[in-house]
Homo-oligomer: A and B are copies of this chain.
Amino acid sequence: METPVETTRERLLNVAEQRFGEGGYEGTSLRAITVAAAANIAAVNYHFGSKEALLRAAVARAMAPVNTERRRRLDQLEAGGPPTPEELIRAFIEPGLELVLRRGERGAVVARFIGRIAFDPSKRIRELYATESDPIERRYLAALQRALPQASPEAVAFGYVNMLGLLALHQSQALSPTPGAAGVGDPEDPGKLAENLVAFLVAAFDRGLRP
């Protein structure tokens, strides 16, 4: 087969999601990224325009498969009867965990990167993440509301924020064993983490949302 040579652009994106996920946006310098990517310092501005544009491109590339899978599952669910809360929660959580965690080291790097971005309280980064995942999130919110007609819109939004936050938490802890909290980010069986998280959230949604 032909040799799939990594372009400078791809190497920059790979290293960016590794370093940004590890040290955060402000805590990672372009020089650290370009050195690790075996690229010239000017390459970032040539290919992306700025440091922030590199972040934006990395977020878009990392989120694309997750969003695609979520859309696919949501389509499939809504094609059948009205989905249950559990089905919706599963369709949201699993693409975020399995899809990246099942891909070994590289997948965990992507997960940590996504989690850290989704997590970040900084205004600029929050907006960046929001624009990337806004449309699909609206669909989930609406579907959740239909599945939980007895809950107020505020309660559904509250549950959704919590689901998003917990997913980001466990994503950002990929590659972080956190020995105090055993079994959480168990790299041996990411599916188990997904099951635990889904069960936790289903219980909270079903009985923990005040009307």
Contacts and interface: CB of A to CB of B under 8 A. Distances in A.
Interface string A72-89: 000000000000000000
Contacts of A201: 204, 208
A92 interface: no
> How many chain copies?
2
Chain A interface helix/strand/loop/mixed: helix
A100 interface: no
Interface string A167-210: 00100110010101111100000000001100111111011111
A161 B25 CA distance: 25
Interface residues of A, number: 47
14 contacts: A23-B26, A24-B26, A25-B27, A26-B26, A26-B27, A112-B121, A130-B180, A157-B181, A158-B181, A159-B200, A160-B181, A161-B184, A203-B207, A206-B207
Interface of A: 23-27, 112, 115-116, 119-122, 130, 153-155, 157-162, 165-166, 169, 172-173, 176, 178, 180-184, 195-196, 199-204, 206-210
